[in-house]
Chains A and B, each alone.
Chain A
């Protein structure tokens, strides 16, 4: 094994982890919503697309300072979460809807959001404002290079994961959220303010993905691709691979997918990369249907239905 080959493996590893962490970042929103209200939001990625377009508009058309534009964009995405709750979740749940109906409704929401963005902004992708350093900037350690945006992603994703993990597992609020998710009626009987926890769940879920969107902007550009491309699906795949239990699982699931993709390309063939990745993912799920990073000790808790 030549030094160059080892160096290539390492470079491929780093890039795979980098791109995989973007998938996992999107998956965080999926896991969090599942853990807090027991629903799968198929419009998960739309929060990312909306935050990116909002930020782009504030920065480019209104000339807002970066910090204000960021805060305002994320705040509006948080409101989007509330709108999601009151305009979609509540009405259909009142009429007896369960998980499947919510999936369908949010699937349609994705289509709606993409159309709205298209009407307002048109279809051409625009470059993301260079707030993370100029585009194309990168760091080099030895012979390994990495775009600097990924460093921001690692750090902020890390913070988000720790925050979410602590929130869900170590705080009272987290306990309330998980209790509501497990059994809504029992939670109410126990005196939990289900109204509050539900709103909190939606707001946090969209906010997380909204933040993810800003980080993904330099990579996916300000484009419809963010909302309609494969990143959304891969976000789900990451969450599922991770077992839908814990935010750590989503990130690790995403990294696994990124690594599979990159190493299929390097070691086998770039033409068959997608097929190989798909086959491996299906196999993993067949062998471990509850996700590979399933830390439950109790059999009943996994991905609570």
Chain B
């Protein structure tokens, strides 16, 4: 009898405790129109690994935004909190951490992965978890018009736009008639190759050489020799940063003087830092340029520089604005519930650092890109297109 009543007591206590907790939660959410006290957001980016290691830039941009948002009262009083996940620049690791973020840690939204090859593997999880996923990755493979994922959004113009712009500039301004393309092996690179091939075809121009480098290769001699044998008069670069630096170095060493224009991976500090002098004169299509003299951009640059001691790069600005986009969507939806939030993201409009951000038919929030040329210390903007 005594044992029974003891068990009963424990059971009732537990029941009371949980129901109290429940009621507590209800009261709190009711007070803010269904927003939890703390809105947890996942940030999945490559902080280590082989490839494009942009994690530091991404987290700096995101954290600056979170600090600014929280300092000005949060979102209707709720504070934003970021949890970081390292994707190790590897699609399978990305799969594991994203799964954890979405299904175990139950975040409200997830930023990244930033590598296209990782996004392709994980975006359906966002749909299954009914959680919005906002990425800076630029492969056109996962456009909304291609994969139809209502929870996947892109905070940049995709390569369908940027690479087309790159080829347009190569043909119309750099006068390339016998272009060669050098490309990497990840989806980011091969999807861009397809866009470049189509773009050249539309001009009726034949690509005289298409050479591939593998991520991690340290010698592109064979590839460059092949391109020279084919008589190329311009180089289109579609590789990641370490390979890009090897390529431009060796092209210059071999005394080959042709215009070189790379896509977004070629327009970031990770490339120019490693390539050094060889990067001078190289053109690139970029998603963001900190030399843009638009006052809103400059104001952002100086705030970022004050906070982090360096100028913001492409991914930093991308995820910075991305955080504010989410804030606008949450305010519009009045909730952090997944489906409503995704719908709000589809409709919301926000004036970011680079101007108007609104999700288009591909679920890209902007179609802005720059053409710029590296002069040894910074990228001089030549053109800015919407």
Contact = CB atoms under 8 A, between A and B. Distances in A.
Given A138-B253, A145-B255, A125 B242 contact: yes
A266 B226 contact: yes
B274 A136 contact: no
B274 A127 contact: yes
Contact of A262 (B50, B219, B252): B219
Interface in B202-236: 211-214, 216, 218-219, 221-223, 225-226, 228-229
Contact of A266 (B216, B225, B252, B278): B225
Given A15-B219, A19-B218, A270-B213, A134 B50 contact: no
Given A122-B47, A125-B242, A230 B277 contact: no
A134 B229 CA distance: 29
A8 B253 contact: no
Interface string B267-285: 0001001111110000000
B175 to A, nearest CB: 24
B253 A270 contact: no
Interface residues of A, number: 44
Given A4-B229, A8-B228, A136-B276, A230 B216 contact: yes
A19 B219 contact: yes
Given A123-B49, A145-B254, A225-B216, A134 B277 contact: yes
A228 to B, nearest CB: 7
Nearest to A135: B276
B78 interface: no
A263 interface: yes
Interface in B260-304: 270, 273-278
B218 A136 contact: no
A60 to B, nearest CB: 13
Interface string B50-90: 10010110000000000000000000000000000010100
Interface string A139-161: 01001010100000000000000
A266 B255 CA distance: 19
Given A123-B53, A125-B53, A266 B222 contact: yes
Interface string B81-106: 00000101000000000000000000
Main secondary structure of the interface of B (DSSP, over half): helix
B222 A12 contact: yes
A200 interface: no
A128 to B, nearest CB: 10
Contacts of A147: 249, 253
Nearest to B47: A123
A228 B50 contact: yes
Interface string A212-233: 0000000111001100111000
A123 B48 contact: yes
B229 A271 contact: no
Interface in A193-244: 219-221, 224-225, 228-230
Contacts of B56: 122, 124
Nearest to B229: A8
B46 interface: yes
Interface of A: 4-5, 8, 11-12, 15-16, 18-19, 22, 118, 122-127, 134-136, 138, 140, 143, 145, 147, 219-221, 224-225, 228-230, 258, 261-266, 270-271, 273-274
Which 9 A-B pairs have CB atoms at the shortest separation, nearest pair first?
A: A265-B222, A123-B48, A15-B221, A266-B222, A19-B219, A270-B211, A271-B212, A145-B253, A270-B212
